[in-house]
A and B are shown apart, each in its own frame.
Chain A
Amino acid sequence: MSAIAKPSNRGNSSTEIPEFTDTERAVINRLQYGLPLTPAPYRDVAEELGISEQMLLDTLKALLANGTLTRFGPMFHAGEMGGGLTLAAMRIPSEDFERVTEQVNSFPEVAHNYRREHELNMWFVLATETPDGIADTIQRIEALTGHPVYNMPKEQEFHVNLHFEV
C-alpha cells in the first residue's frame, strides 16, 4: 500500500477496486462518452447496450448512490459560458497548509483543489461568472492567506478527453 496517491475525504473504499458486473462496466464506459441528445436518450443507449431502459436507469442510479459516479449530467465548459476559468497554484509551508486549505476552500469560486507533491503544493481550479472575476478572486485569496497565487490560465488547449475504461 502506498501513501502517495491516497485520496483523503473519499471514504474508506478508496483502497479497494470494486468488481463491476458486465452491465455496470458497459454503463460506466458508454456514458462517459455522453448521452445522445435524442427524444428518448436513455432508451437509445439501453438499446445500444442490449439492456432494458429500466435496467440502464437502475444501474445508473446505483452507481451514483455508491459513489462510483460522482455525477451524471451536462458537463459545462465555463470558458464558453462567458465566465472565467483558470488553474492556480500556491507554495504553502506545511505548518500553514491546513489553515490555508480551509481559507482557499471557503471560496465558492474554487471548484477543485488538490494537494500535490512539489514546491508548489496546492493546485486549484477557479471558475468565476465573468472573466474579470479571476483576477479579483486571486487578489482576495492572496489577501486572506498572505501567500502569493500563481495564475496559470490555459493559453492553448490541445486535448480534453477524460475517459476511464473499466
Chain B
Amino acid sequence: MSTSTLKSEQRPLTQQDRELIMATQEGLPLVPDPWGELGRQLNMAPEDVLARFQEMQNSGVIRRVAAVPDHYKLGYRYNGMTVWDVNDEAIAEMGQQVGDLPFVSHCYRRPRHLPYWSFNLFAMVHGTSREEVEEKAQRIKALLGDTCSGNTILYSSAILKKTGLRLRKQQPTP
C-alpha cells in the first residue's frame, strides 16, 4: 500500500466534481442510496454521481471514502511525530523501509531548516502510551542504523485547530 509519489498529470476538476466535493465535505449521505441522494441534490443521475466518485478515486483526488476517527477517543492518545536526520544518499531507500513499517501512518521526506531543524524524514507513530510510541521509535532507529545522525519525537500537547481540508466556494465567473 505504499505510494512513492510521482504525480500523474493533473487534470483540473470538472464543475460536477467541484459540486460533488462541496456537497460531501461534511460527509457522505447516510442513506441506503447515497449516490441517488446526491444526484437529487445536484440534479445528476445516480450512475453519474457514482462514476464521478470512481473516477476521482482512480485519479487520486479522493484517497477513499472512509471513516475518520478521533484517534484520542479510540484510546490512541499519544501521537508522536518522529523525525530523523537521514543521509541524503540513503533517504529514498530508508524512507520507503520506514514507511512500510505497519505502525507508521504517514511518512514523508521534507526539507531541513538549519539551524533550527535538521530532520528530513517524518514518520507519524500513534500509541496508547508514551512508552508504546517510544518503543516503536526504537524500532525505526534500529532500522535506520548509521544512515541516521539524529532524531527526536515531537508529541502534540494540544490540538489548536482541526477542520480538515476544505474547498471554498468559487467566485461565480462574471
| Interface residue ranges, A against B (CB under 8 Å) | 2, 4-10, 13-14, 17-18, 27-28, 31-35, 37-43, 53, 57, 60-61, 63-64, 67-82, 85, 87, 89, 91, 101, 104-105, 108, 110-120, 122-124, 127, 129, 150-164, 166
| Interface residue ranges, B against A (CB under 8 Å) | 1-5, 7, 10, 12-13, 21, 24-28, 30-35, 46, 50, 53-54, 56-57, 59-79, 81, 91-92, 95-96, 98-100, 104-111, 113, 116-117, 122, 126, 128, 130, 152, 154-168
Are A117 and B155 interface neighbours, CB within 8 A? yes
- Cα separation A68 to B67 with both chains bound (whole Å): 10
Are B105 and A69 interface neighbours, CB within 8 A? no
Also in contact, A111 and B165, with CB within 8 A (given A34-B66, A116-B154, A156-B95): yes
Are B157 and A117 interface neighbours, CB within 8 A? yes
Main secondary structure on B side of the interface with A: mixed
Also in contact, A80 and B161, with CB within 8 A (given A4-B155, A17-B75): no
CB nearest to B105 among chain A residues? A162
Q: Which residues of B contact A31 (CB under 8 A)?
A: 66-67
Which of A37, A39, A53, A124 sits near B65, CB closer than 8 Å?
A: A37
Q: How close is A126's CB to chain B, nearest CB, in angstroms?
A: 10
Main secondary structure on A side of the interface with B: mixed
Give 30 CB contacts A-B under 8 Å: A5-B79, A7-B72, A7-B159, A8-B159, A10-B70, A14-B72, A17-B75, A37-B54, A39-B35, A42-B32, A70-B69, A72-B27, A72-B66, A75-B63, A75-B64, A75-B66, A76-B165, A80-B10, A113-B162, A114-B159, A115-B158, A123-B81, A152-B110, A152-B111, A154-B109, A155-B109, A158-B2, A158-B107, A159-B3, A159-B106
Among A8, A10, A152, the one with the most B-chain Cβ atoms within 10 Å of its Cβ is: A152
- Cα separation A5 to B72 with both chains bound (whole Å): 9
Are A120 and B63 interface neighbours, CB within 8 A? no
Are B66 and A160 interface neighbours, CB within 8 A? no
Q: How close is A13's CB to chain B, nearest CB, in angstroms?
A: 7
Which of B59, B81, B108, B111 sits near A157, CB closer than 8 Å?
A: B108
Are B105 and A108 interface neighbours, CB within 8 A? no
- Cα separation A155 to B29 with both chains bound (whole Å): 35
Are B160 and A114 interface neighbours, CB within 8 A? yes
- Can you list the 7 inter-chain pairs with the closest CB atoms, starting with the nearest? A158-B99, A159-B99, A34-B64, A31-B67, A17-B75, A113-B160, A158-B107
Are B108 and A116 interface neighbours, CB within 8 A? no
Are A73 and B27 interface neighbours, CB within 8 A? yes
